[in-house]
Amino acid sequence: MKAFILAAGVSRRLYPHTYNTPKCLLDVGGKPIIHYQLEALESLGIIDITMIVGYHREMLIDHVTSHFPNLNFNFIVNHHYIETNTAYSVHLGREILSSDEHVLMNADVVYPKALLRKTVNSPYLTALAVDAKVCGREEVKVIDGGENKIVAIGKELIESQCLGEFIGVAKLSKEFTGLFSKSLDQLILSGGVNDYFEAGIQPLLDKTDVHFEDVSKYPCLEIDFIEDLESARKLF
């Protein structure tokens, strides 16, 4: 198993904290956010990591290669990071992603190693980590179709119908990564460069099984706003 991390974005909603620093290098609990993901991966023996970079990429590349010498990094640059979103970033690395099973991860989520371990060790071939809770409009939400199967995913879903928030950590089988890459091809060709990558998952839900792992017992927080950063610094 390999890892695929999305770390290209500008994070304007965190200005001024991200004027001169990529979001995933902001400090939470005495270490940069990206350390939570990389330490968890290393603890599971997942050492081959593709990282999509863009904003302040030199700083990020220098940091992770110097602090994690035992990991094998492959960096792909999203030169259009200002005007694109995560669907385009994943699309850039689709050939690598579809070559093997992967853990797909957003670089702006803080969580303990046990959360990633539960997701990677899921009995399901493709499993998304979901925080079962009452969600708001901003979260990427999922609908449970029974037997841990996801039947809908996206920000636009009606909150009262949803199980909880997809936290941006997913174990993807090799078969699924191939389907996902083709779905993203169609999405990008249709002009979806500013979509979230979950828009490439939604069309696959009636073609193949995508399950969830409930990780709500673990502390986790996606950092999108200054309030999130403040909350994370209290939680970790």
3-state SS, 117-166, equals HHHHCCCCCCEEEEEECCCCCCCCEEEECCCCEEEEEECCCCHHHCCEEE
- Cα separations in angstroms, 74 against 77, 196, 203: 10, 22, 29
Confidence of residue 127 (pLDDT cuts 50, 70, 90): very high
pLDDT of residue 4: 98
pLDDT of residue 216: 96
Distance, CA of 115 to CA of 112 (rounded, Å):
6
Contacts of 209 (CB under 8 A, 6+ apart): 124, 125, 126, 149
Distance, CA of 78 to CA of 54 (rounded, Å):
5
CATH topology for the 2-235 domain: Spore Coat Polysaccharide Biosynthesis Protein SpsA; Chain A (3.90.550)
Span 154-178, average pLDDT: 94
**H or E element in which residue 59 lies:** helix 57-67
Written as six digits, the tokens of 195 are: 């979509």
Its pTM surpasses 0.85? yes
Confidence of residue 138 (pLDDT cuts 50, 70, 90): confident
pLDDT of residue 11: 87
Contacts of 62 (CB under 8 A, 6+ apart): none
Confidence of residue 17 (pLDDT cuts 50, 70, 90): confident
Contact 167, 220 (CB under 8 A): yes
Span 212-218, average pLDDT: 97
Whether 136 has a pLDDT exceeding 90, the answer reads no
Amino acid at 143: I
Span 112-128, average pLDDT: 97
Written as six digits, the tokens of 104 are: 């797909």
Mean pLDDT, the chain, integer: 95
Collapsing DSSP to helix, strand or coil, 36 comes out as: helix
Span 11-22, average pLDDT: 90
Beta-strand relationship, 48-53 and 72-77: parallel
Span 17-45, average pLDDT: 95
pLDDT of residue 202: 96
Confidence of residue 47 (pLDDT cuts 50, 70, 90): very high
Confidence of residue 29 (pLDDT cuts 50, 70, 90): very high
